[in-house]
Each structure stands twice: as structure tokens, then as C-alpha cells.
Amino acid sequence: MANRGFAVLQMNFRGSVGYGKKFWESSFKQWGLSMQDDITDGVNWLIEKGIADPDRVAIYGGSYGGYATLAGMTFTPELYAAGVDYVGVSNLFTFLNTIPPYWEPLLDMMHEMVGHPEKDSVQLRQTSPVFHADKIQAPLFIAQGANDPRVNKDESDQMVEALKERGVEVQYMVKDNEGHGFRNEENRFDFYGAMEKFLEEHLLTEEEK
């Protein structure tokens, strides 16, 4: 994106690795809460410093970053002119209930880090973007692998369906031969090319295009 002339901020929100155990643990059960606040604070900092135009900010991420994209567009919709969700989580209940078999030994840790579907049900509903799709104001582009074992395709399908019911613009790319993240080079070119056009359409002025 920087190569295409966009100013890019890559956030080290709490929970990012490489900053010690305390920083990592500060993210536990904070999906959509303080972890998202870190991203929001970063965007506001960019605006205050005059680096970003407040009317032309997009949010993009993959996996958890895809969740953060959806959370940003639902919980702070006024901040973003567009969003790109790449293999992201939309519903924390279905995400936790479709954990693949090879994650089973880590399931207790997932419940500690993200939340328990029963014990933390109120919070998980509050922080699942799919239940707040009515708040999305900006165009959204979603990309998903059909065979994704970690973030099931249903995560993207749910959000697309919720937005289409409201008549909100959503561009949806599904690759049948991909899992969690695109590995096929042709699919990568297709995705990044489509994302570039999407961002140009919704962020650039006619003169910049």
C-alpha cells in the first residue's frame, strides 16, 4: 500500500508479540475492547498530527486483523471511509465453536485469551461485529478462502449476508483453492489488485486517480 502512495500505520496493539509477557497478557479477553482502542488511538493520532485526512482513512487486516477491521467499522464507523477484511472473524461464538481438531489442546487457552462462549456470552455478543452490522456506514471488501480451517468461511458469509440485507455495499472474493490466507500466487495478485482498486475508488480524489 505504501508503494502505491498510501500512508500506512501498522499497529502494535496490546497482544502483539515481541513486547513481553505482560503486554501479551494485557490483551486477554480484550478483542473489540482495549485492543481495538489501541487501533482507534493510532488513527486519531495520525489525524491530530496531520498525517491522515479524517475523511479518507481505511482499515485493513487479516485473521485477527480482519476481525479488527470489522470491529473498527462497527464500533467506530465514523473513523473509516472503507475497510478490507481478509479471512477475518465476524462472530466470536461460531469462531470458538468451530476450532479445528488440531487446536483442541489449546482450546482452554483460547477461552482464556478470547472468551468462553457460555461464561463470557454477554461480552462475546457485544464484541462480535456480525451482531452490529447495522452500524457499518462505509464500503467493505471481504476476502476468504473456501477451505479455511481456522476462520471458517461461514465467518465471512455471515457478515456479507447481514450487510446485503441492509443494502450496504460489500465486495466479496472467495477462492475455492485457498485456506487461511492465500498461498497461490495468482490468487494473491487477484486479491491485492482488487484491494488496490477498491481503496483507490473510496479514498482517492478524482485528481489523484
Q: Helix, strand or coil for residue 87?
A: coil
- Cα first-last separation, the chain: 15
| Sign, Cα dihedral of 67, 133, 192, 175 | positive
Instruction: Identify whether the C-beta of residue 55 lies closer than 8 Å to the C-beta of residue 81.
Output: yes
C-alpha cell recorded at residue 158: 455471515
Side by side, the strands of the sheet bearing 170-175 are 58-62, 82-86, 140-145, 170-175
In total, the chain counts a number of residues equal to 209
Give φ, ψ of 61 to 5 degrees: -170, 165
The sign of the dihedral angle between the CA atoms of 169, 157, 115, 110 is negative
> Would you name the residues annotated as active-site residues?
63, 148, 180
Dist. CA 102–CA 45, nearest whole Å: 40
Neighbours of 77 (CB within 10 A): 14
d(CA 115, CA 134): 24
